[in-house]
Structure 1
Amino acid sequence: MKYYLIAGEASGDLHGANLMKALKKKDDTAEFRFWGGDLMEAEGGSQVIHYKERSFMGFWEVITNVRKALKNIRYCKEDIENFNPDALIFIDYSGFNLRIAKWAKPKGFITHYYITPQVWASREGRVQDIKRDIDHLYVILPFVKDFYQEKHQIEVDFVGHPLLDAISNRYSFDATMFKKQHQLDERPVIALLPGSRKQEIKKMLSIMLSMIPKYQNYQFIIGGAPSQEEAFYRNIIKNADVRLIQNRTYDLLSIAHAALVTSGTATLETALFKVPQVVCYKGSWLSYQIAKRIITLKYISLVNLIVDKPLVTELIQADLNTKRLEKELGNILEGATRETILNEYDLLIKKLGSGGASERAASLIIKNSKKAV
């Protein structure tokens, strides 16, 4: 069968690649065309546009890039029609994907949503658009299944979280070799994960770096995003005593004692590696003012949302400052707070179910598409 996948950032690229790998196992005729990144490209098929060429975030940032976004939407529609896929698969990236779905469903394309839009967090009215435009929904968080089925009477398939597979399938890791390769010393590691987009990295990283002189018994390492060049980070780092290691986030988390993490998928990844963390977020003033009026959640991190309590500290906007961050980082380096987080991580992992999310999603997509393989 022919599969057209649309992912919009690094996490979508990861999950899209694992889904493609699973689809190839189950369908030896699989042909792919996709919007994704390097990981999806490594699985074969034809890449349309790399996600880093269309990566911008926040309400103000979207407004200033609206012409580029509309051009991409027009081109995507034309490209789908030319490819004529048996399955059109959306992976997160809701602002773009829901617009494509609204056009695609009346055209007769079978629409699948893997890692569904966060309508449970904001703009819940979009549920009706999803019900109208998406044929099959595959959710990866247990509370999201309840949101759709119990609150909105929409049938979905809970497939488990693909990060469990992404981590368990990771290549063999040698911590000693990794430390030697990157000239790390024996001090405990504090990982800095400032996000993947330029706007968020600029706002978060400088505050994270302010912790270095305050915790000199630790070594700080930045997990660089694959979408950004080294030179971009160097302009922010300047003379700070910190190492930058790009495209090796999971290896970094494997040796980390604690982490400062920008809100997003990385908060859950950090928890799955059982690393105590402080969650950080700071957006532009306008983006934040709009967001706080439409987001209805008690928490911004996936960790706290899954366990439904403030397990890890979230420092948002004005609360993300040097004084407060120093205090919260100290709390997770040792003592009762650290132990509580580590114990609760085990319960969080159980809530996510077993591995095999990509395999289950692939089987359902094949079953629910136009042609039988």
Structure 2
Amino acid sequence: MAHRYYVIAGEASGDLHGSNLMKAMLQEQPDCDFRFWGGDEMSKAGGTRVKHIKELAFMGFVEVLMNLRTILGNLKFCKNDILHYKPDALILIDYPGFNLRIAEWAHEQGIRVIYYISPQVWAWKQNRVHTIKKVVDEMYVILPFEKDFYRQFNFEVTYVGHPLLDAIENYKSQVSETRFFERNSLKECPVIAILPGSRKQEVKKKLPIMLEAVKELKGYQVIVAGAPSLDASFYQPFLQEYSNVSIVHSQTYDLLSNAEAAIVTSGTATLETALFEVPEVVCYIGSPISYLIARQLIKIKFISLVNLIMDREVVKELIQKECNPTSIRGELNRLVIGGTKREQMLADYKTMKEILGGGGASKKIAQSVLKTNV
């Protein structure tokens, strides 16, 4: 009888990593059956989708409160759906606000809980570790320092390497000639990439500021990475007054492959940009209340994954009031003109890759999960 797995991812990065894990599990054991919350990538991998990530992404304390009824409704629906499906194991991918609640409930039901991509408990809410120890059967982490962090709490976790290493290698091995400019009717000239995020709230806050920063930029074309979870019509009001700006959808890796530099929203995209060896400036703006609360709670020096992995400033982080057109433009100029700033960043990227180690995260987890479920 086929093994049944219920998989929950709530954001675009989780959708990507979830899809690669599902594909790796199917390679190891073709009769695996999946029921999942995810996006288009997980849908391509197979199984039955229950909810799309478009319905799930809420960021910040205020936004969560405003959508609390929807979130509580999703939790109730999810629990009933899991009970009906009767999975052999529950696989939770990041998305901690939702997934940790499901993990606690599933543990009480006697369902095996596998967590892939640890909640960022090392940044804030460290008391969550005690709950994780009780309710998670296996934790697979993707950042080198996370194993030592959990060891402080006498919880052994498995470091598998970062799945983006595999995702990007897979992309590079399959794309010999992207014909990116021709396919998108773009002129072939140096590109500045803008990655404004995948959630409506963050795009609304940051994209206008990012676009204003490149308004007077000469000799470059500016291309915005449109998120798969957002319709093309959503972006048009932001772009209509900028003649030097284009947008491409669901082609972020093609865009980064052709970019000279990038303006990037904090999150997974900061690491993706670095792994493509594109110099970047990192931007973050939250609602004032969310930011004030976060300042009191967060225990880390940096917000970008690049700086966190290196434990020092490699890429410039412009946060809240510092995230303004003038500051972004100044940092961008230092990155595109060459010189020591650009060269040092590219050298640091190479060091970061060495720290991350080898790839194969999805395959390692697939083999481990299936081995302990026979």
Per the TM superposition, whether the score is higher than 0.5 is: yes
Alignment of 1:351-362 (within 5 A): 351-362=355-366
> What is the alpha-carbon distance in structure 2 between the residues aligned to residue 172 and residue 7 of structure 1?
25
Matched residue type, 1:346: K
For residue 61 of structure 2, what is the amino acid of its counterpart? F
The alpha-carbon deviation at position 175 of structure 1 amounts to 5.2
SS of residue matched to 2:174: coil
Deviation digits for residues 5-39 of structure 1, max 9, x if unmatched?
00001000000000000000111220000000111
Structure 2 CA distance, aligned partners of 1:25 and 1:177?
Answer: 31
Residue 256 (structure 1) shift? 0.4
Distance 1:269 1:245 in 2: 17
SS in 2 for 1:288: helix
Conserved? CA contact 2:213–2:324, under 8 Å: no
Q: What residue number does 2:334 align with?
A: 331
Matching residue of 1:11: 13
Alignment of 1:300 with 2:303, yes or no, is yes
For structure 2, the residue ranges without an aligned partner over 5 or more in a row are none
Q: What SS class does the counterpart of residue 155 from structure 1 fall into?
A: coil
Aligned to 1:162: 163
Output the CA distance in 2 between the equivalents of 1:255 and 1:207.
23
Contact 1:279/1:315 (<8 A) preserved: yes
Contact 1:272 1:345 in 2 (8 A): yes
Correspondence for 2:207: 205
**Does the 8 Å contact 1:267/1:301 carry over to 2?**
yes
Does the 8 A contact of 1:57 with 1:199 survive in 2?
yes
What is the CA–CA distance in structure 2 between the aligned matches of 1:99 and 1:15, rounded to whole Å? Answer: 21
Q: Where does residue 99 of structure 2 map in the other structure?
A: 97
1:175-190 paired onto structure 2 within 5 Å: 177-190=179-192
Q: Distance in 2 between matches of 1:7 and 1:368?
A: 22
Q: Which residue of 1 aligns with 2:240?
A: 238
Deviation sequence 1:88-120 (CA, Å, 0-9, x none): 000000000000011100211110000111101
Instruction: Give the whole-Å Cα distance in 2 for the aligned partners of 1:175 and 1:363.
Output: 33
Q: For residues 175 and 206 of structure 1, do their structure 2 counterparts lie closer, same or farther at Cα, with a shift above 3 Å needed?
A: farther
Contact 1:34 1:48 survives alignment (8 Å) = yes
Equivalent-residue separation in structure 1 for 2:43 and 2:283 (angstroms): 31
Aligned residue identity for 1:359: K
Q: State the distance in 2 between where 1:11 and 1:155 align.
A: 25
Q: Quick one: structure 1 residues 45 and 67, their matched pair in 2 at CA, closer, same or farther if it must change by over 3 Å?
A: same
Q: Hey, what does 1:85 align to over in structure 2?
A: 87
Query: 1:346 aligned to 2:350?
Result: yes
* Match in the other structure for 1:248: 251
Q: CA deviation at 1:211?
A: 2.4
Deviation at 1:142, TM superposition (A): 0.4
Letter of the 1:178 partner, please give it: F
Matches within 5 A, 1:21-40: 21-40=23-42
- 1:184 positional shift: 2.2
2: distance between equivalents of 1:68 and 1:203?
Answer: 23
- Contact 1:8-1:51 at 8 Å conserved across structures: yes
Count of residues in correspondence between the two structures: 369
Paired residue for 1:135? Answer: 137
In structure 1, distance between residues paired with 2:174 and 2:163: 19
**Which residue identity lines up with residue 57 of structure 2 in the other structure?**
S
CA contact (8 A) 1:173 1:251 kept: no
- The Cα of 1:176 is off from its aligned counterpart by 6.4
Opposite residue 293 of structure 2, the aligned amino acid is: I
Does 2:285 match 1:282?
yes
Q: CA deviation at 1:368?
A: 2.8
Asked if 1 retains the 8 angstrom alpha-carbon contact of 2:277 and 2:349, the reply is: yes
Alignment match of 1:122 (pick from 121, 124, 149): 124
* Distance in structure 2 (CA, Å) of the matches to 1:264 and 1:243: 23
2:323 aligns to what? 320
Taking a change above 3 Å as real, the CA distance of residues 176 and 102 of structure 1, as seen in their structure-2 partners, is closer
Deviation, 1:192, is 0.1
Equivalent residue for 1:368? 372
AA at the equivalent of 1:308: D
Deviation of 1:50 after TM superposition, in Å, equals: 0.3
Q: Secondary structure at the match of 1:245?
A: strand
TM-score (norm 1): 0.97
Q: Distance in 2 between matches of 1:132 and 1:176?
A: 47
SS of equivalent residue, structure 2 residue 179: helix
1:54 CA displacement: 1.8
Which deviates the most, 287-296 or 12-21? 287-296
Instruction: State the distance in 1 between where 2:362 and 2:102 align.
Output: 23
For residues 268-317 of structure 1, give each alpha carbon's deviation from its aligned partner in whole angstroms, at most 9, with x where no partner exists: 00000000000000011111111111111100000000011000000000
Q: Distance in 2 between matches of 1:87 and 1:228?
A: 31
The amino acid of 2:263's aligned partner reads L
Whole-angstrom CA distance in 2 between matches of 1:208 and 1:174? 31
- Counterpart amino acid of residue 82 in structure 1: H
Percent identity between the two aligned chains: 53
| Maintained 8 Å contact 1:175/1:255 | no
TM-superposition CA deviations, 1:110-167 (whole Å, max 9, x none):
1000011110111111001100110100001101111112x21210111111101111
Secondary structure of the corresponding residue to residue 213 of structure 1: coil
Which amino acid is the alignment partner of residue 24 of structure 1? L
Shift of 1:243: 0.4
Please give the root-mean-square deviation of Cα atoms over the aligned residues, in Å: 1.1
Describe how 1:42-121 pairs up with structure 2 within 5 A. 42-121=44-123
